[in-house]
């Protein structure tokens, strides 16, 4: 079921599996098709997948810049904050989430994503993705935040 629904790449498939297992560990529910569908409905909506020509105001596939804009709006930070060198938690967490979403929903490389976030190194992007995944697995609020942002990014405007 996961492979049928997530055809983008192996990284996205692996991420979906990790999310299903994380949700199972948070809720104690058995891993079955119903649980997987529930988790994936928020992260990879079947009928609302971003495709070239749909999914964002520019009418193109998701871009790092669009992900940054949506993340800034959701967390109440400016793009300057997101791209700054600040390590304050109020800026670092939104930055890590935006990097994670860029990695999951674009075809950009780690170095390219790093450049889009103020010239950061690819290892910084890897760290952000790891921290976000870990936090999603252990914190239901963080999981819901990322799920809501993903759903917002993947929604095609009517």
Question: Could you write out the DSSP letters of every residue in 54-77?
Answer: -SSTTSSS--HHHHHHHHHHHHT-
Give the pLDDT of residue 156: 55
Among candidate residues 131, 130, 126, the one with its CA nearest the CA of residue 114:
126
Q: Which numeric CATH code is attached to 53-154?
A: 1.10.1750.10
pLDDT in tens, 34-79: 888 888 876 665 533 444 333 444 444 789 999 999 999 999 999 9
pLDDT of residue 4: 81
Average pLDDT over residues 147-152: 91
- Work out the mean pLDDT of the chain and round it to a whole number: 84
Region of poorest pLDDT, from 7-21, 41-55, 140-154: 41-55
Instruction: Give yes or no for a contact between 154 and 45, defined as CB atoms under 8 angstroms apart.
Output: yes
Q: Is the pLDDT of residue 146 over 90?
A: yes
> Could you identify the residue written with the tokens 């649980």?
35
Over pLDDT 70: what percentage of the chain?
85
Domain ranges of the chain: 1-44, 53-154
Q: Are 94 and 72 in contact (CB under 8 A)?
A: yes
157 pLDDT band (50/70/90 cuts)? Answer: low
Using the predicted structure, report yes or no on whether residue 130 has a pLDDT greater than 80: yes
CA–CA distance, 33 with 39 (Å, rounded to integer): 10
Alpha-carbon dihedral 57, 60, 64, 65, rounded to 10 degrees: -40
CA distances in angstroms from 152 to 41, 109, 137, 147, listed in the order given? 12, 23, 20, 9
Give tens-digit pLDDT for 80-95. Answer: 999 999 999 999 999 9
Q: Has residue 152 got a pLDDT over 60? A: yes
DSSP annotation string for 99-112: HHHHHHHS---HHH
């Amino acid at each position: 079921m996961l492979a049928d629904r997530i055809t983008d790449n192996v990284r996205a498939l692996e991420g979906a599996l990790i999310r299903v297992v994380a949700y199972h560990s948070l809720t104690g529910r058995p891993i079955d098709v119903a649980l997987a569908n529930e988790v994936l409905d928020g992260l990879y909506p079947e009928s609302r997948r971003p495709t070239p020509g749909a999914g964002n105001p520019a009418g193109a596939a998701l871009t790092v810049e669009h992900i940054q804009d949506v993340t800034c709006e959701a967390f109440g930070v400016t793009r300057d904050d997101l791209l700054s060198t600040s390590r304050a938690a109020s800026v670092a967490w939104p930055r890590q989430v935006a990097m994670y979403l860029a990695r999951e929903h674009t075809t950009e490389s780690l170095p390219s994503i790093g450049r889009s976030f103020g010239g950061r190194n690819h290892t910084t992007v890897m760290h952000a993705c790891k921290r976000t995944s870990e936090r999603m697995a252990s914190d239901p609020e963080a999981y819901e935040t990322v799920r809501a942002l993903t759903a917002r990014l993947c929604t095609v405007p009517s």
